[in-house]
Amino acid sequence: MRYVTVKQSQANAANEERRAQEKAALWLVQNYSGVKEMKISKLDKPNEFGGGNYAVDIDNINGTKRGLRIGQGSKEEFYNEGPKLIVSFDDYEQVLGIKKDHDSSRTLKSVKIEYER
């Protein structure tokens, strides 16, 4: 049996959270043009009964006070099928200054990102 220290467990959780945050941010940048800045929330995970989503909120997109929720129903869906837009609002593209335009060559290098810890 392999034991994991509390410190290692916390490091693993932090790594999982950052990986999910970056994957959601990259999904947004590659699926929408015009994304210049964003703030990414902590990772939400389904509870022990299966309620909730494996997702992050992406707020302050391009300096607005509005945001989107990106994720999937489970961790497995998030990594196997990829993230998707879970929650948006009317006219979100216009309000956020973004446009649906898939381009997998886009990266996060030119985007200002603040990660919540």
pLDDT tens track of the chain, all 117 residues? 677 687 887 777 788 999 999 999 999 999 999 999 999 999 999 888 878 899 999 999 999 999 999 999 999 999 999 999 999 999 999 999 999 999 999 999 999 999 988
CB-facing half-sphere around the CA of 31: CA atoms within 13 A: 12
Residue 23 is predicted with a pLDDT of: 97
Give residues with Cβ within 8 angstroms of 24, minimum separation 6. Answer: 40, 55, 56, 58, 70, 71, 83
Residues 71 and 83: beta-carbon distance below 8 Å:
yes
**Amino acid 99: pLDDT:** 97
Q: Which of 64, 68, 70 is nearest to 95 (CA)?
A: 64
Q: From residue 54, how far is each of 34, 46, 106 by CA, in Å? A: 25, 6, 24
Contact call for residues 78 and 23 (beta carbons, < 8 A): yes
